[in-house]
Chain A
């Protein structure tokens, strides 16, 4: 525990900050909370709830720009000298997020070791920190029941523009769906082929498609953003002998959490339009999603048959290519192939 006087001082600093912000020209609310130490006496308040408030606000601000909420960031920008309170404050913020906003912080999966290149693996082995397999990074997800996640209620956020958000979400969701249905990895040429088919091979809608000056953006730039925001991972494996490097695309940590298998199944159901027992059965085999009630109970039985295959997909293990091919064929049958 930091000594009490220090903690009180910090409180005072925060308050003076707030005042300055409301009065005038402050750049960023959080950047400077460690700045000055003017010893203004703050009113005694419940310190924990202040920290919880700060963390809730920090989490919401991070989510707005799709920046992961990092444990280090929380320590630096929220807790300051109260670093030891992490657990308590985090739990409190979690409670508040769920209760007030119907959201919660979920930890992103740690980087998949299978995706490291040989070089990176060697480095990781050398540093030998033997870190536990946590990412210490979180994102906000909704905890609302599905009934509430309808277009009438939840629309694409107005970040830059709602239309741009909608287009962006559609594109990364679709790419992630294709990657997952391809067995968790997709070669670069195959991704390009899919994108070309979507007429998105060269350009994609920009963050603000209604902007006459820049309605679209280079596909490369948008893919970069998807990587940066954790939707996709691009792995370059340098070929040992000649040839070009082989590039493969995988689902990134944010992608795994936001566009999970249920979301992928929902996307496919929407694309296919009519839901049949056959489609549900295929979805179960490919994505291991919860069974959806349809008139035909047969779907469930068929689904059980595919257990072994699912396991392979679930581990992120691409498995023998023949098997992948079959599953892909099953899922993509009508919609996709030439």
Chain B
């Protein structure tokens, strides 16, 4: 490399593009509405003042141009800009600035301690393994459930985290004498703060019913990590922890499922309309059972149950307890046939 080396840049790349990139990186994700405001600000800045531009006049083409150029500019640095539709909220499109090589530790982890990272891993395991079984694909957890994994399990070490296991168990602050890499887990108050900040930072979303689930940003960032970690390509089973929408092929953590427990066809609510419009009848494309749209993936797997509904009618404010009770039932029911927890 000589002194004449110049970094490769898209044609016409200028300060507006650089500012767009900075704005994007500070926010992590963009929606069309937010991008409109930024682009309006950029136009104003590049024209050196003048009248403010109404953000609503900024078109999708304008925004797409900025995003495409930004993507071109950072691609060679192993960053990427991806987009997906939100699985709820009318499928609003979300763009995310992401690291091409990604796992929870590098992504959510930059500012987190080792204990927090270990907790996040346990929480993801809970979301995608414990609360994601063939019968109930919740893929979300309540606060109470998150608190349950605030400390590493006794005796048995967490999945693929052998260095975290310790003989002393994780049930107290005293008594552990083994040196160094003992993961004491997090205090409950620390878990609550971490959950809140993961929501504020845009990694988790919290629903009205109190369930935490992965945000579009997380799903984009962790796409390959999730598939590699929770799906087993060598398995004989059809059923895998991470499944994809029959229509858009993206991960489904909130949507509908075939009424046949064994069947692996899943569909986003937001993809449903277009999907059925293109077909003659509303039947599962795989097993031909009628699609009733009442079997769910995501928190509705719990909240649509009669037990949960009844509880709400009583107007106790102990929603999360109830959800947990339901989940506990489910756990008990699944204990017989579920053995992937014993894996490691």
Among the 9-residue stretches B13-21, B263-271, B303-311, B321-329, the one with 4 or more Cβ atoms under 8 Å from chain A is B13-21
Query: How far, in whole Å, are A20 and B304 apart by their CA atoms in the complex?
Result: 40
Query: Are B1 and A48 within 8 A (Cβ)?
Result: yes
Tell me whether A100 is interfacial, beta carbon within 8 Å. Answer: yes
Query: Are A100 and B18 within 8 A (Cβ)?
Result: yes
Query: Are B197 and A65 within 8 A (Cβ)?
Result: no
Tell me whether A16 is interfacial, beta carbon within 8 Å. Answer: no
Query: Are A25 and B26 within 8 A (Cβ)?
Result: no
> Given the complex, which residues of A lie within 8 Å of B23, measured CB to CB?
153-155
Tell me whether B110 is interfacial, beta carbon within 8 Å. Answer: yes
Interface code B108-136, partner A: CB below 8 Å = 1, 0 otherwise? 01110000010000000000000000000
Query: Are B110 and A61 within 8 A (Cβ)?
Result: yes
> Given the complex, which residues of A lie within 8 Å of B110, measured CB to CB?
61, 64-65
Kindly identify, within residues 27 to 57 of chain A, every residue whose CB is under 8 Å from any CB belonging to chain B: 27-29, 46, 48-49, 52-53, 56-57
Kindly identify, within residues 15 to 34 of chain B, every residue whose CB is under 8 Å from any CB belonging to chain A: 15-16, 18-23, 25-28
Tell me whether A2 is interfacial, beta carbon within 8 Å. Answer: no
Among the 9-residue stretches B73-81, B148-156, B244-252, the one with 4 or more Cβ atoms under 8 Å from chain A is B73-81
Query: Are A150 and B41 within 8 A (Cβ)?
Result: yes
CB-nearest residue of chain B to A61: B110
Which range contains the number of B residues in contact with the other chain?
35 or more
> Given the complex, which residues of A lie within 8 Å of B78, measured CB to CB?
53, 57
Query: Are A154 and B26 within 8 A (Cβ)?
Result: yes
Query: Which one, A49, A52, A100, A145, contacts B21 given CB within 8 A?
Result: A100
Tell me whether B224 is interfacial, beta carbon within 8 Å. Answer: yes
Contacts known (A28-B106, A148-B19, A155-B23); A214 close to B189, Cβ less than 8 A? yes
Query: Are B74 and A100 within 8 A (Cβ)?
Result: yes
Tell me whether A184 is interfacial, beta carbon within 8 Å. Answer: no
> Given the complex, which residues of B lie within 8 Å of A300, measured CB to CB?
none
> Given the complex, which residues of B lie within 8 Å of A158, measured CB to CB?
26-28, 200-202
Interface code A109-145, partner B: CB below 8 Å = 1, 0 otherwise? 0000000000000000000000000000000001011
Tell me whether B42 is interfacial, beta carbon within 8 Å. Answer: yes
Query: Are A153 and B76 within 8 A (Cβ)?
Result: no
Tell me whether B103 is interfacial, beta carbon within 8 Å. Answer: yes
Query: Are A160 and B197 within 8 A (Cβ)?
Result: yes
Tell me whether B289 is interfacial, beta carbon within 8 Å. Answer: no
Query: Are B26 and A92 within 8 A (Cβ)?
Result: no
> Given the complex, which residues of A lie within 8 Å of B200, measured CB to CB?
158, 160-164, 208, 210-211
Shortest beta-carbon distance, A312 to chain B, in Å? Answer: 36
Query: Are A25 and B229 within 8 A (Cβ)?
Result: yes
Interface code B164-204, partner A: CB below 8 Å = 1, 0 otherwise? 00000000000000000000000001001100110011100
